Amino acid sequence: MVFTACAFKVLFLSLFFIAIASRPTGRPKVFNVRRHGAKSDGKTDNTNEFTDIWKRACARKSGSSKIYVPKGTFYLSGVEFVGPCQNPIEFVIDGTLLAPANPNDIKQDTWINFRYINNLFISGSGTLDGQGKQSWPLND
């Protein structure tokens, strides 16, 4: 009986340490969209920059990633963020993501789309501006 209790404790501790060791460690790698080429002028289409940043953050194998959108207005004509990703990703939006005023200018079925992603965390004090008031009369 003592052997069984000891074996159980050893097994439990082994599984615990394996679980701890397999988690991403350290601070996340931060991908600031402005530092990676995105323009916060509200006019320049940043779809390619956001897509490239997403691919790099998603493919990162050593630890989690954080995509940071600082204050400013970042125009996106339509972007799709596709997984699966290697590790958790946090998407922090402190600025404004701006959609086209005309829904026909969105280059895909949806303006912003996250697909096939586990461990995605979205936070921040920013805004997703779909320009509803301007686009409602144009949307069938």
The pTM (predicted TM-score) of the whole model is 0.77
The H or E element spanning position 66 is: strand 65-69
How many CB atoms within 10 Å of residue 74?
Answer: 26
In this structure, is the dihedral angle defined by the CA atoms of residues 78, 113, 60 and 69, taken in order, positive or negative?
A: positive
Beta bridge partners of 80: 113
Residues 6+ apart with CB under 8 A from 78: 47, 100, 106, 107, 108, 110, 111, 112
pLDDT-wise least confident of 42-46, 68-72, 74-78, 99-103: 99-103
- Residue with token string 């990633």: 65
pLDDT in tens, 28-40: 999 999 999 999 9
Identify the pLDDT of residue 3: 54
From residue 79, alpha-carbon distances to 14, 40, 75, 127, 128 in Å are: 43, 16, 11, 16, 13
Average pLDDT of the chain is 86
DSSP 61: -
Task: Check: CB of residue 49 under 8 Å from CB of residue 33.
Answer: yes
Q: Is the pLDDT of residue 24 over 90?
A: no
Give the residue with greater pLDDT, 89 vs 18: 89
CA 70/CA 48 separation, integer angstroms: 17
Give the pLDDT of residue 55.
97
What is the C-alpha to C-alpha distance for residues 106 and 84, in angstroms, rounded to an integer?
A: 24
Q: What is the pLDDT of residue 104?
A: 84
Q: List, in order of start, the domains of the chain with CATH numbers.
A: 28-133 (2.160.20.10)
